[in-house]
Chains A and B, each alone.
Chain A
Amino acid sequence: MGSLEGILSGVQLAFSFQGILFVFLGVMAGTLIGMMPGLGPISAIAIMIPLTYTMDPPVALVLMAGVYYGAVFGGSTSSILLNAPGISGTVATSFDGYPMAQRGEAGKALAIAAIASFFGGTVSVVLLMLFAPVLSSVAIVFGPPEYFALMVLGLTAISSLADGSTLKALISAVVGVMAVTIGIDSQTGTTRFTFGNPNLLEGIDFLVVALGLFALAEVCALIINRHQSSQNKGSIGSLKLTKKEVKEMGGPMGRQSLLGFVLGILPGAGATIASFIGYITEKKIARKPEEFGKGAVKGVAAPETANNAATSGAFVPLLSLGIPGSGTTAVLLGALLVMDIQPGPLLMTDQPELFWGVIVSMYIGNIFLLILNLPLIPYIAKILAIPRPMLISLVIMFSMIGVYSISFNTFDLYLLLLFGAVGYAMRLLSFPAAPFILAFILGGMMEESFRQAMTMSNNDISIFFTQPIALGMLIAGFLSFIVPILQGIRSKKKNTV
């Protein structure tokens, strides 16, 4: 279980001048890049790779890890201020963060996000340190049947993301699932719905959908309704949280840092699913669930705690098994291989300095992030004071840059505009966009794991019901979907009687 010597050598590395300097540079670059709409941890790490070629591997890893969780930390900013999530892990943050900012409490929303991120990040580093060696076995218990069940559980959130018509939320989700099937089918290699267009072979990137449906649709609404002046132009409100608000954050932060960490360990689940599931569970157990979606403190704290906790969790399979748990850790793994580090089961015993150095540096990194972010909030929130025409142009510009930097393909920019138009049309017809994006994120993995499981079981569907973890999650999913609907019907009946 990781000898004390190993931990000490890690502490030494993390507290060396180089260690502190690079973790600082890493989190600063990460948080700045993460703040920009459209640029997330993947682009942040990809930018850093060429810089690290000549560095000492442990230092380079400390730097890149800092960039990674720094970008997740900063990612909430654009979701809260501009409704323009830069990574899938902060989509859920925009559900309550953006309404809060519109209400004139941008400063408070950002402060909640920063504190929740810090809390989630720190708790999960402690967990990582205590349990990393043991947890590596947890990381591999999930196979296709379990992932399928987890995705189903995540998708049941749709019924709770509906404000208004459940039917419209479901339609929106179905279209989201349909959109994700575009491209090469992973299990047969057949192309689906590409209409012979090679640009669609890889499918549609999440960012195109998110920035279109959220950021551009919001921009459209702002332009079209420009004559109705909004009540609180540029006001950011106070940063100070009331005692009641701090109290309110406590529960979600405690629960979601645990849940987020566990979900982060599972390869493939990661920050996105952690943030959605975090949001949903808090809404389900909240005494006033109707406040969610309208700027609830818990609605910001829960996903932000969860996604940062999941980010540290993702280092468990990466460092202890050499298995990348997400797109971002896959890029990170590639970078490590170039530096001649092969993460695997033996990393901890072969290179304890590297293993523990990275983990210890995460404590320092999270403290830096909090110190960097809190004082900056009043300035960052001032973004809303930029005159509307300029702000709108900036949002459009950054959305385009973000999308273009995924694949350097202009076709994606047209798609972005298309999704912007779709998003605006959905607003006019009051179809919620959240179920669409949730289904888009989870649907692809749900289909893939369903079909993998079916191939493995020779098309015997019982594979989903004979494994306890999968069965448990499916039952939970069924209940979480059906209960709100039944409650709705019952209360309707009461009203009509």
Chain B
Amino acid sequence: MKQLWLLFISLMAALALTACGGGNSNESGEENASGSSGEENWEPEQSLEIVAPSGAGGGWDTTARMAAEGFEEESIIDQGFGVVNKEGGGGAVGWSYIAEKAGNPHHLFVASPPLLLIPLNGQSEYGHEDFTPIANMISDYGAFAVREDAPWEDLNELFDDMKENPEDITVIGESSPGSMDHIQFVKIAKAAGVDPQSIKYVSAQDGSTMTNLLNGNADVYSSGVTETIEQVRAGEIRVLGVTAEERMEGDVVEDFPTAKEQGIDETFVNWRGFFGPPDMSDAEIAYYEEKFQELNESNHWAETREKFAWNEMYMDSEEYRQFLDEEKESMQKLLNDLNIQGE
């Protein structure tokens, strides 16, 4: 009986260890990682870690896992990859983890507009300036959806109504005020002449956004394009506009009009790319730039993009940095309009 017990306990312990094993696949061998920077050519000396600063299954997680898969399948990088989820604070927990890895280029992370918005809202001490942009890979866009029986036929009708009776229209989104779902709506609405402060925005972070649109508690749903597709196909909701520059390609989404073609000259890009820790040398940046560009041009990545309905949006390190600085400025303006202030 005693042996049976020991067996059971060791089984439980083993299971528990595998349960958290995914978390730190890469703690060992960090000591010998430094000292290589500054040389002409650089190559990783150990397996690489890609941090998704969110839980498993989300957009960041999927991007990180698909990139790791692409690098391995196309044999672009010989080292092994570990994708690690560092969840918390809308990304802040993962960012402070990477910030501590300054000078160790074996740790990368995936990011998107929250990397600008969360620091601006005073919820993270680290912002994009603290990290090394390596390459942007893809873009996604926002969509504004209403119920099938809603009175508005296009964005202009909605916004005209909002100008007159802002208190009658509830906009719902997943993220907190001042973060992505809110800001993308405000950005477009403001360009159409709606007073940003008059917009009634409700945040539902428990996944009840679509429910509340369908049951009439909210009137407009601000989200990513992909989240709307199934309900549009089922004829439950309509998409009044997307934040893309041009019509998107693909089933269903090709029917979504852009804000631009409705005469509202504004876009919102949900860019997604990869960053490294602070203090990376030029050789290290050059190495990764080349590898990500190779991934971007590979067939495998083209298939991945198609599978998840992502759009190609490649930028190298320098372009990316400039783009981010400009984006941050425009976000800051919107947040000022909304009277949301970080520290």
Contacts and interface: CB of A to CB of B under 8 A. Distances in A.
A184 B15 contact: no
A140 B19 CA distance: 34
B75 interface: no
A35 B340 CA distance: 45
Interface string A392-406: 001000100100111
A456 B61 contact: no
A164 interface: no
A345 B170 contact: no
A497 B188 CA distance: 72
Given A143-B217, A323-B210, A401 B233 contact: no
Contacts of B88: 199, 201-202, 407, 409
Given A43-B19, A321-B210, A342 B93 contact: no
B202 A455 contact: yes
B218 A456 contact: yes
Given A321-B210, A334-B58, A408 B86 contact: yes
Contacts of A379: 4-5, 8
Interface string B290-321: 00000000000000000100000000000000
Give the bracket for the number of chain B residues in contact with chain A.
Answer: 35 or more
A189 B179 contact: yes
Could you say which of A144, A343, A404 has the most chain B C-beta atoms within 10 Å of its C-beta? A144
A331 B200 contact: no
A141 B177 contact: no
B62 A337 contact: yes
B230 A386 contact: no
A187 B217 contact: no
Nearest to B95: A198
Interface string B154-175: 0000000000000100100000
Say whether chain A's binding surface is mostly helix, strand, loop, or mixed: helix
B326 interface: no
B231 A334 contact: no
Contacts of A32: 11-12, 15
B102 to A, nearest CB: 17
A325 B207 CA distance: 7
Contacts of A188: 176-177
A95 B61 CA distance: 38
A346 B231 CA distance: 8
Contacts of A382: 1, 5
B128 to A, nearest CB: 17
Given A202-B88, A458-B167, A401 B19 contact: yes
Contacts of A199: 88, 93
Interface string B193-224: 00000001111111110111011111000000
Contacts of B205: 186, 448
Contact of A184 (B9, B20, B89, B207): B89
Contact of B231 (A267, A331, A345): A345
Contacts of B89: 184, 198, 201-202
B125 A322 contact: no
A33 interface: yes
Contacts of A184: 89-90, 123, 176
B28 interface: no
A191 B122 contact: yes
Given A32-B11, A331-B55, A408 B24 contact: yes
B18 interface: yes
**Chain A contact residues (Cβ within 8 angstroms of B): what range?**
35 or more
Contact of B15 (A33, A340, A448): A33
B233 A47 contact: no
Given A143-B215, A202-B88, A458-B167, A189 B57 contact: no
Nearest to A455: B202
A39 B86 CA distance: 17
Contact of B203 (A186, A335, A337, A407): A186
A334 B11 CA distance: 29
A382 B208 CA distance: 43
A43 B211 CA distance: 26
B121 interface: yes
Contacts of B5: 379, 382, 385-386
Interface in B101-156: 121-125
B12 A36 contact: yes
B179 A394 contact: no
A198 B124 contact: yes
Q: Chain A CB within 10 Å — which of B124, B230, B233, B340 has the most?
A: B230
A198 B18 contact: no
Interface in A291-348: 317, 321-325, 330-331, 333-335, 337-338, 340, 342-346
A344 B176 contact: no
A324 B93 CA distance: 25
A268 B233 CA distance: 25
A344 B19 contact: no
Nearest to B178: A189
B230 A322 contact: yes
A139 B204 contact: no
B78 interface: no
A12 interface: no
A80 interface: no
A351 interface: no
A186 B207 contact: no
Contacts of B85: 46
Given A191-B123, A382-B5, A456-B217, A49 B19 contact: no
Given A32-B11, A32-B12, A141-B215, A267 B208 contact: yes
Interface string A433-446: 00000000000010
A193 interface: no
Given A189-B177, A189-B178, A335-B57, A401 B16 contact: yes
A452 interface: yes
Nearest to A347: B230
B207 A323 contact: yes
Contacts of B170: 455-456
A408 B20 contact: yes
Nearest to B205: A186
A481 interface: no
B58 to A, nearest CB: 6
Contacts of A321: 210-211
Interface in A365-412: 379-380, 382, 385-386, 394, 398, 401, 404-409
Nearest to A268: B206
Interface in B1-29: 1, 4-5, 8-9, 11-12, 15-16, 18-20, 22-24
A267 B19 contact: no
Given A322-B230, A407-B93, A448 B18 contact: no
Interface string A41-62: 0010011011000000000000
22 contacts: A32-B11, A35-B12, A49-B57, A143-B211, A144-B202, A144-B212, A184-B89, A186-B205, A187-B202, A191-B122, A198-B92, A201-B92, A201-B93, A267-B206, A317-B211, A323-B208, A338-B62, A346-B233, A346-B234, A405-B19, A448-B205, A455-B200
Nearest 6 pairs of A and B residues by beta carbon? A334-B57, A344-B230, A345-B234, A143-B217, A201-B89, A189-B176
